[in-house]
Amino acid sequence: MRARSVRSILAALFSFAITCGADRADAAQAQTGTVRVAVVDAGRPVQDATVLAAGTSATTDASGVATLTLPAGKVQVVATRDNYDPAATKVEIVAGQEVRVRLTLLPKPPEQGETTVTVSTRINRRLEDQPLPIEVLDRSTIENEMLMTPGNIAKTLDGMQALRLQNTSPELGTAMVRIQGSRGHYSRLLFDGVPLYFDHPGGLQVVQISPMDIGQVEVVPGSASALFGANAVAGAVNLISRKPGVAKEREFLFSQSFQGGTDGVLWLSSPATGSWSSTYLFGGHYQDERDVDDDGWSDIPGYARGTARTRVLWDNRQGRSASGTAGVVFEEREGGSAFAHQNLKTKGADGALFGQMPFRGFVLAGAGTLFVQSRTREFGDGREHERREGATIELTLRGTGPRQTWIAGVAADWYALRSSDPIASKYSSTRPGIFFYDDVAVSSWLTVSGGARIDHDIKYGYFLSPRGSALVHGGPWAARVSAGRSFYSPLPLTEETDAAGLTRLTYIEPTELESARSLSADLSHTTQSSTIAVAVFHTHVDDPALVDRATYTYYTDDQPVVTRGVQLLAGVRRGALSMTGTYVYTKARERGDVDIALTPRHTAGFVAAADSERHGRIGLQVYFTGEQRLDANPFRTISEPYTVVNLQAERPFGRVRVFVNAQNVGDVRQTNWDPIARPARDVDGRWTVDAWAPLAGRLINLGLKVAF
């Protein structure tokens, strides 16, 4: 009896315990709910992403879905994955119910070694998924070109298919970037998506920026004011900064040329310690002034330049990040002849701040830049001094949907050109604007994007700049079409004034606001080992402001400037061997039906390289330039075609890489045909003709790059 009573009591207690536990479980379940998170990239599921909320985490499965059980109330849900920016949103967890959330991850901006992500549209997308036509130059290619010209990015940019570098001053070696045949002042130069440099491109930027500090170059051809505001009529060149890697990096590059050029560049990178990382760049560059052909005129300008730049980055790995950069440049350049010598001294400083954070389910981002540059230029019989200043503030809000990413923002640009010259002193402007850009993955084979920007120019009023693009892709095939409209605020900072200065320039007022429309299309077939692509482009500029060389007058022409052309590309890679061939046909017309000067109809290139991590690299470059119309040239009206051959060799020895390069092996020089000096001084004050072929001739440099 006693045993039976004990068993009865224990059974009763066990039953009571089970009942209480069940009641507590039911009560706990009543206070929690579930959130089902679908993580996608461009509409496709992202596997192995980490989803965090209220101290709980889960990993997405093959369908990109993770489910969390969370306490009732408001919580923030964050999705993260390597090589993506975090995505976050706030949700209300309802007890006993399931909430569904969709988060879109955007690929991070490219770091060293990442070559397929574009950032110029502010929507970080793989290049193959980008509806907007963009030409990308990755870090590995920049490294190869850097060994040939460590002091600047001129050679790097000149090798891109959509770009052509035009020497604007034979005496000083300044240059502007032309996009698809348009003159250099129609190209906008950006750094990390914002105008870190002056509003209008000068001839100094591309010959002063070090390629050691560049992680990627993106060229957006065609009317790009919808993305970047005024003056991007021909397109924009966006230089993406080199970011810190996962390990500490210390690199030193030294190069010495047989023609008296010396370059030394030091790059330091500290990986993230907690949330902080940083990079530092220091460069010293020197070139002797050289008269290669002993005609009394320098073919290689002399210069001495010092540069320094630092960049500090902070990232909490949960969607919040900030970075800042500051740089200085000091340079003196000289060239010419004994009786017509020129000297250009520049001092420049710039700075920028960037940041982003999740905000009510969106991403709020901002950027601000400051730029100031002092120039003093001495001619044989005169002196010009100017101060260029610029500032930009931009705020954007980014939102994502199931198949959509959009950007809305406001921006304000301020620029001033201060000079004793009355023409230059007329330029001081504040341009506020608002913009919207939308990118939609309509289906697995169709992506469309479009946007518009409204800017207000203090002199010309309001202007609307729309742009739209579409991408159709399937398997190895892809086709794009893009159209847009842009505007340009005329200012006589052109290729002509970059060479001759402003003192003798006549200014006919009023100048009209220039408007441009562009259209492009391309078709490509890409596999892991080969690429074939064809593209067509067309740009039409109304009311262009031109310089009449006969009178050196800046005026608005009543005839449009029209550029059109075709680009062909074929590339193949087999193991360590790679080969790429390009051809560009450009027909650029102005003043009714006159070819734009210094614009060849036909250009072609062939690049081959054998690259091995163990044995190094051997490269061959062959570039052909066809006939060009020449303006104000007393010796000829049409240039000669020419071909330039470059050779590269690089060999690793542990952490040291030794290199030797030979540019222009055939010693092609413009003075092989005609003198560079004019028989008499031109009306604009110039003693030299335009540079339409290489001036320096054969260039050989050797050096080493050390990682320590």
pLDDT, tens digit, 9 for 90 and up, residues 551-589: 999 999 999 999 999 999 999 999 899 999 999 999 999
Q: Report the percentage of the chain scoring pLDDT > 70.
A: 94
pLDDT in tens, 474-513: 999 999 999 999 999 888 889 999 999 988 999 898 899 9
Angstrom distance (rounded) from CA 188 to CA 171: 24
pLDDT reported for residue 425: 60
pLDDT in tens, 356-389: 998 887 899 999 999 999 999 999 888 999 899 9
Give mean pLDDT, residues 269-289. 93
Neighbouring residues of 60: CB distance < 8 A, sequence distance ≥ 6:
37, 39, 45, 46, 47, 48, 49, 51, 66, 79
Between residues 236 and 7, which one has the greater pLDDT? 236
The two tokens of residue 383 are 């002196």
Give mean pLDDT, residues 444-450. 95
pLDDT reported for residue 306: 98
Q: Give the pairing type, strands 602-612 and 577-590.
A: antiparallel
Q: In the 8-state DSSP scheme, what is residue 688?
A: B
pLDDT reported for residue 422: 67
pLDDT in tens, 655-664: 999 999 999 9
- Decide if pLDDT at 83 tops 80: no
Residue pair 279/294 in contact (Cβ under 8 Å)? The answer is no
- Decide if pLDDT at 423 tops 60: yes
- Decide if pLDDT at 174 tops 80: yes
Judged on CB neighbours under 10 Å (0-12, 13-18, 19+), 308 is middle
CA dihedral 12, 15, 17, 18 (to 10 degrees): 180
pLDDT reported for residue 402: 78
pLDDT reported for residue 426: 61
pLDDT reported for residue 9: 42
The two tokens of residue 147 are 């060994």
pLDDT reported for residue 109: 61
- Decide if pLDDT at 19 tops 80: no
pLDDT reported for residue 598: 97
pLDDT reported for residue 540: 98
pLDDT reported for residue 255: 98
Give mean pLDDT, residues 626-638. 97
Angstrom distance (rounded) from CA 235 to CA 518: 10
Provide the CB-side half-sphere exposure for 250 (13 A, CA).
1
Radius of gyration of the chain (CA): 29
Give mean pLDDT, residues 411-416. 91
To which H or E segment does residue 26 belong? Answer: helix 2-30
pLDDT reported for residue 231: 87
Give mean pLDDT, residues 78-86. 82
Confidence at 462, pLDDT banded by 50, 70, 90: very high
Which region among 253-267, 393-407, 672-686 has the lowest average model confidence (pLDDT)?
A: 393-407
The string of DSSP letters for 88-121 reads EEEEEEPTT-EEEEEEE-EEPPP-TT--SEE-TT
Q: Give the pairing type, strands 174-179 and 163-169.
A: antiparallel
- Decide if pLDDT at 10 tops 60: no
pLDDT reported for residue 41: 81
Other beta carbons within 10 angstroms of residue 186's beta carbon come to 30
Give mean pLDDT, residues 63-85. 86
pLDDT reported for residue 609: 96
